[in-house]
Amino acid sequence: MKLQNVEQARFNMIEQQIRPWNLADEAVLNLMSSVKREDFVPSTYKAMAFADIEIPLTHGQNMLVPRVQARLLQDAAVLATDKVLEIGTGSGFMTAMLARQAQRVISLEINPEIAALARANLQQAGVHNFEVRQADGAKGAAAEAPFDVILLGGSVTEVPQVLLDQLKIGGRLVAIVGTEPIMFATVITRTDEAQFKSETKWETVAPALLNFPQATSFTF
């Protein structure tokens, strides 16, 4: 794809997919414009880098749809002083955007091959304030806690308490919670040592993160 066509496709992605989807945060729109999504897409799928679809990675994993990534980033409201924990690195595209906003990003990827791919992509993109660890994201990174922001790059049926406990007071966890066909982007804020406030934001569907527990209770 020629450079001119790439930039037109990027512009179309932002103006036709992302901005109309209740995304008004100019900082996020600028990140979607400046971080080169095509550099984080497997070579087989380069032509679809800006399409409104999930892009396959290896081992059954996928890159989330661009507008979903942008909306999660908007909900996270990352500050320049924030320490961020990302669960599910994938190709590293979200990691790169988080790193542009935060002081430091620790990203956990359960698959070693995908973790290595993400590291290479991020280094190639000139990102420095990140660490990609091959680890089970469902357990978080307690030794590095507390975090200002925890962002989950896929869906879970419920958010484990072990992750909530790794938030700072005033910190927020952003996740897509539920089971198909009904899932909601959810922001959980830690209000004090033992209290959390949960806000349901918008409806979507995303692939499940591996190794997370299934819901333990149902409300009728």
How sure is the predictor about 218, in pLDDT bands with cuts at 50, 70 and 90? very low
What pTM did the predictor assign?
0.94
How sure is the predictor about 60, in pLDDT bands with cuts at 50, 70 and 90? confident
Residue 119 lies in a domain: yes
The answer, yes or no, to whether residue 1 has pLDDT greater than 60, is no
- The rounded radius of gyration (Å) of the Cα atoms in the chain is 16
CATH code assigned at 129? 3.40.50.150
d(CA 186, CA 51): 25
Residue 149 lies in a domain: yes
> Which residue would you say has higher pLDDT here, 216 or 15?
15
The answer, yes or no, to whether residue 171 has pLDDT greater than 90, is yes
For the stretch 63-80, what's the b/e string if a residue is b when 16 or more beta carbons lie within 10 angstroms of its beta carbon?
bbbbbbbbbbbbbbbbee
Summary mean pLDDT of the chain: 94
- pLDDT tens, position by position, 72-93: 999 999 999 999 999 999 999 9
* Distance from chain centroid for Cα 180: 19
Span 94-99, average pLDDT: 98
Residue 220 lies in a domain: no
Confidence (pLDDT) at 214: 76
Q: Which domain holds residue 96?
A: 3-204
